[in-house]
């Protein structure tokens, strides 16, 4: 009896591999999957996989441009179930973007319902919207799929077939542009004018040696659906040669005259980068410029944009400096912006940064490939038709013999054998002549099948004439298709004719102007330097008034406010908080006006957070830098810091380092103070010389000023000058601070009952 072989030891079955190698291979596989299958467009049809699958699914569902709209949810669900199993949100987003004519140079989807707006409003849920193909998408991308023009591949579960690329007849990558973020790379391609792109393609086909500079005579630059002005024309050649660069774009502004000599500045076109939420941000930026006193020429702002186009109106003062205001808006807002170009696409199965000429080259080669496949398919069909037509014509000449064969045969197989091979055995003929003629028949299989399936009415004279005419047309088609396939010039004529048709039907005027503009120069009006009085109430609301107003209301101002001090309007003030932060505030950011004008929270004009911080000390920065500040914390940590430490450009810096749970309770500018008195919550008092507190940097924690009992903490800090008699009220008794015993720093102090 044979014995079974011994099983291998487990050690021999384990495959040992370096972990880093597995991680590297897995990451590369993942990255390439994202790059090729998700994020980057194909140079041939200019579509990402999700866009291609969505359009193909709509075509398969019969949602054509001349058919009724269908629910977007149906399109999304069918696409996800058949071709793109990566979630409905990505499919619906692709559908929405392809329908937005303010994002695409040529919309590919005809949306019905709320598909979002140029101002950033999102599309309605897919259950509420409907869509169908645009005519250009149907005719220019999907019309020849039945002619074997592109390869098909199995879908994710191998239950359906999907095209690897759509047979796009126009350079969609240039016309509609594209954007996408992959792993370690990004594509950002601007849209262009269809008519100009067609002209450039035709010029390349007529002269393959044409340069990028010569191509730019036909495509001078991008053509954004939002219009605007490209201002760096001289840099475009390098961008189109390398595929990388920055395009500077700005909006268009018009000045409209009103009654009484007033003017209004109307923005009618915006940079492509501003579409969406950036329009609202642009309006907020203008408001911020007004609040910051950068301009006083604007009286009112209104956004009157509609489906007809952009219209943002700025009402101006009568004596407004319009040119300076235009420069201000271009310099300080997104009305002038840059569009980063990175013409990256999948070419020959790998990502490649392409120049303008390269994109056109790939497009032309693709057109020649799909037209070759198309006309080869058509030629084969015409050749089959020719074969059958010739058989039917020949049959009409011997129709009596064929009828005799059919009547004399016992079955269809016998009749077919006679027609194709001349086999007459078993067939009853009326005469030997008929039999001899039948033996000479040599129809092909297809011809014999057509003869056997032919109906009697085809024998009518007019039908025979129609057959002869069809045969002539078939021969003409065959000659034409062979000429196209064998003669490159004939092929190019076909491609150019198709491009001309698209240009004639879908071409439009250029929207974006292209110029070389000078750098914007904005001269800010010099602010007249003056002293103001800054007032902060106990709720943290801040405002400023001129000195005359303050003197007139001095008593009320001092009574109602926690901090009142003089500052220069062109300077800054320092706000020190209990958390150890120092916030710098420009005095110009503080509301200036009348005494009873509305104040604003400090939070609104600085990084100060009233929920977590409280103000300990405030002073103008020009005064702070000339002083030495004493810092005292709740846990009795102390230090002196030169004010120059706080002369920084940042809006917020740490003024001191503190331990967990500690907070500042006092910051005092040191002038002629000689002694410090610390008072704890439990009634301990410690008096010592201020010179015992060392000078430290702002990033230091300081030294301990007093030994605290467990659970005790500092409550008050007092400073005494030489010869000063200072007393305080404590527990209903008067305490003369000058009579307290002078001790050393970092001792327990004396407890007062």
Answer whether residue 261 shows pLDDT above 70: yes
Selecting among 128, 218, 541, 730, the annotated active-site residue is 128
For 372-431, the pLDDT digits (tens) are: 999 999 999 999 988 888 888 888 778 878 887 788 887 888 888 888 887 888 788 878
For 702-731, the pLDDT digits (tens) are: 999 999 999 999 999 999 988 788 888 888
Q: How far apart are CA 45 and CA 52, in angstroms?
A: 9
Q: How far apart are CA 494 and CA 362, in angstroms?
A: 17
Q: Strand, coil or helix: what is 619?
A: strand
pLDDT of residue 726: 85
For 417-469, the pLDDT digits (tens) are: 888 887 888 788 878 888 888 878 888 888 888 888 877 666 666 677 888 88
pLDDT of residue 1: 45
For 309-340, the pLDDT digits (tens) are: 899 999 998 888 888 899 999 989 999 999 99
Computed on alpha carbons and rounded to an integer, the radius of gyration of the chain in Å comes to: 43
pLDDT of residue 597: 85
Given a contact cutoff of 8 angstroms between Cβ atoms, the answer to whether 587 and 579 are in contact is no
Token pair of 140, please?
Answer: 């220019």
Given a contact cutoff of 8 angstroms between Cβ atoms, the answer to whether 231 and 204 are in contact is no
DSSP assigned state of 5: P
User: Would residue 128 show up in a list of annotated catalytic residues for this protein?
Assistant: yes
pLDDT of residue 329: 92
Answer whether residue 4 shows pLDDT above 60: no
- Higher model confidence: residue 422 or residue 574? 574
Q: Strand, coil or helix: what is 267?
A: strand
- Higher model confidence: residue 625 or residue 438? 625
Is the torsion defined by CA of 387, 392, 398, 404 positive or negative?
positive
Whole-number percent of the chain with pLDDT over 70: 94
- For range 9-25, the mean pLDDT: 69
Full-model pTM: 0.73
Angle between helices 356-397 and 399-408 (to 10 degrees): 70
pLDDT of residue 633: 95
Helix, strand and coil in the chain, % to nearest 5 = 40, 25, 35
Answer whether residue 203 shows pLDDT above 60: yes
For 60-94, the pLDDT digits (tens) are: 999 999 999 999 999 999 999 999 998 899 999 99
pLDDT of residue 412: 84
Q: How far apart are CA 343 and CA 173, in angstroms?
A: 10
Answer whether residue 656 shows pLDDT above 60: yes
For 232-247, the pLDDT digits (tens) are: 999 999 999 999 999 9
Which secondary-structure segment (H or E) carries 546?
Answer: strand 541-546
Instruction: Tell me the pLDDT band of 34, cut-offs 50, 70 and 90.
Output: low
pLDDT of residue 12: 65
Instruction: Tell me the pLDDT band of 9, cut-offs 50, 70 and 90.
Output: low
Q: Are strands 229-230 and 513-514 parallel, antiparallel or unpaired?
A: parallel
Answer whether residue 503 shows pLDDT above 90: yes
Cα atoms found within 13 Å of the Cα of residue 45, Cβ hemisphere only: 22
pLDDT of residue 211: 95
Instruction: Tell me the pLDDT band of 6, cut-offs 50, 70 and 90.
Output: low
Instruction: Tell me the pLDDT band of 190, cut-offs 50, 70 and 90.
Output: very high
Q: How far apart are CA 719 and CA 708, in angstroms?
A: 20
pLDDT of residue 25: 65
- Higher model confidence: residue 429 or residue 630? 630
Answer whether residue 107 shows pLDDT above 90: yes
Residues whose CB is less than 8 angstroms from the CB of residue 514 and which lie 6 or more positions away in sequence, other chains included: 220, 221, 229, 230, 233, 236
For 132-179, the pLDDT digits (tens) are: 999 999 999 998 999 999 999 999 899 999 999 999 999 999 999 998
pLDDT of residue 183: 65
Token pair of 390, please?
Answer: 């010739």
Please give the backbone phi and psi of residue 561, each rounded to the nearest 5 degrees, phi first: -120, 150
Q: How far apart are CA 542 and CA 578, in angstroms?
A: 18
Q: What is the 3-state secondary structure (H, E, C) of 551-618?
A: HHCHHHHHHHEEEEEEEECCCEEEEEECCCEEEEEEHHHCCECCCCCCCEEHHHHCCCCCCCCCEEEE
CA angle 85, 87, 91 (to 5 degrees): 90
Least confident of 436-440, 613-617, 691-695: 436-440
Q: What is the 3-state secondary structure (H, E, C) of 148-217?
A: CCCCEEECCCCCCEEECCCCCCCCHHHHHCEEEECCCCEEEECCCCHHHHHHHHHHHHHCCCCCHHHHCC
Whole-number percent of the chain with pLDDT over 90: 60
The domains of the chain, with CATH numbers, are 47-167 (3.90.199.10), 252-334 (3.30.1360.40), 364-505 (1.10.268.10), 531-751 (2.120.10.90)
Instruction: Tell me the pLDDT band of 188, cut-offs 50, 70 and 90.
Output: very high
pLDDT of residue 400: 78
């Amino acid at each position: 009896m044979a014995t079974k072989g011994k099983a291998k030891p487990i050690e021999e079955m384990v495959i040992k591999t370096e972990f880093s190698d597995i991680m590297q291979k897995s990451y590369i596989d993942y990255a390439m999957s994202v790059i090729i299958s998700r994020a980057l467009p194909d140079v041939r049809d200019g579509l990402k996989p999700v866009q291609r699958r969505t359009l193909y699914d709509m075509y398969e569902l019969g949602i054509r441009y001349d058919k009724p709209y269908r629910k977007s949810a149906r399109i999304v669900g069918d696409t996800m179930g058949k071709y793109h199993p990566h979630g409905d949100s990505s499919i619906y987003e692709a559908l929405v973007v392809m329908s937005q004519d303010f994002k695409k140079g040529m919309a590919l989807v005809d949306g019905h319902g709320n598909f979002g707006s140029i101002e950033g409003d999102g599309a309605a849920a897919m259950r509420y919207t409907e869509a169908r193909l645009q005519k250009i998408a149907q005719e220019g991308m999907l019309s020849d799929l039945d002619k074997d023009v592109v390869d098909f591949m199995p879908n994710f579960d191998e239950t359906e077939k999907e095209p690897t690329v759509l047979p796009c007849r126009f350079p969609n990558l240039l016309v509609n542009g594209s954007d996408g973020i992959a792993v370690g790379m990004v594509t950002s391609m601007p849209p262009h004018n269809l008519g100009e792109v067609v002209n450039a393609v035709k010029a390349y086909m007529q002269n393959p040696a044409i340069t990028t500079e010569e191509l730019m005579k036909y495509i001078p630059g991008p053509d954004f659906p939002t219009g605007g002005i490209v201002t760096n024309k001289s840099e475009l050649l390098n961008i189109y040669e390398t595929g990388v660069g920055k395009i500077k774009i700005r909006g268009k502004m018009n000045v409209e005259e009103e009654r009484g000599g007033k003017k209004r500045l109307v923005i009618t076109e915006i940079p492509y980068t501003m579409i969406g939420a950036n329009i609202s941000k642009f309006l907020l930026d203008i408001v911020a410029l007004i609040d910051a006193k950068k301009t006083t020429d604007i009286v009112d702002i209104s956004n009157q944009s509609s489906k007809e186009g952009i219209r943002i109106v700025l009402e101006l003062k009568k004596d407004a400096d319009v040119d300076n205001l235009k420069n201000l808006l271009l310099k300080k807002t997104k009305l002038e912006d840059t569009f980063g170009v990175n013409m990256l696409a999948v070419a020959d199965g790998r990502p490649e940064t392409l120049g303008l000429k390269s994109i056109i080259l790939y497009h032309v080669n693709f057109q020649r490939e799909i037209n070759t496949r198309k006309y080869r398919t058509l030629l084969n069909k015409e050749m089959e038709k020719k074969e059958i037509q010739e058989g039917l014509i020949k049959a009409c000449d011997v129709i009596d013999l064929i009828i005799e064969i059919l009547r004399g045969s016992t079955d269809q197989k016998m009749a077919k054998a006679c027609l194709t091979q001349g086999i007459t055995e078993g067939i009853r003929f009326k005469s030997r002549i008929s039999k001899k003629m039948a033996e000479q028949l040599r129809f092909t299989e297809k011809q014999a099948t057509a003869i056997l399936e032919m109906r009697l009415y085809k024998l009518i004279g007019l039908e025979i004439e129609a057959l002869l005419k069809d045969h002539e047309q078939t021969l003409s088609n065959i000659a034409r298709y062979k000429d196209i396939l064998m003669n490159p010039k004939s092929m190019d004529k076909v491609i150019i004719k198709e491009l001309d048709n698209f240009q004639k039907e879908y071409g439009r005027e250029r929207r974006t102007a292209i110029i070389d503009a000078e750098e914007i120069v904005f001269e800010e009006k010099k602010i007249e330097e003056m002293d103001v009085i800054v007032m902060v109430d106990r709720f943290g609301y801040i405002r400023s008034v001129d000195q005359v107003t303050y003197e007139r209301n001095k008593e009320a101002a001092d009574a109602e406010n926690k901090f009142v001090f003089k500052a220069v309007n062109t300077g800054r003030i320092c706000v020190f908080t209990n958390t150890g932060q120092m916030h710098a505030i420009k005095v110009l950011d503080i509301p200036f006006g009348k005494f009873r004008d509305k104040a604003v929270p400090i939070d609104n004009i600085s990084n100060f957070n009233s929920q977590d911080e409280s103000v300990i000390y405030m002073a103008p920065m020009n005064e702070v830098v000339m002083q030495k500040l004493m810092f005292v914390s709740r846990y009795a940590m102390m230090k002196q810091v030169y004010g120059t430490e706080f002369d920084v450009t940042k809006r917020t810096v740490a003024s001191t380092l503190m331990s967990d749970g500690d907070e500042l309770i006092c910051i005092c500018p040191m002038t002629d103070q000689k002694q410090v008195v610390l008072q704890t919550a439990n009634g301990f008092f410690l008096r010592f010389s201020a010179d015992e507190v060392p000078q430290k940097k702002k990033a230091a924690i300081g030294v301990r000023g007093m030994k605290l009992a467990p659970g005790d903490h500092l409550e008050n800090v007092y400073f005494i000058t030489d010869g000063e008699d200072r007393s305080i009220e404590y527990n209903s008794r008067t305490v003369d601070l000058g009579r307290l015993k002078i001790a050393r720093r970092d001792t327990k102090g004396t407890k007062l009952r």
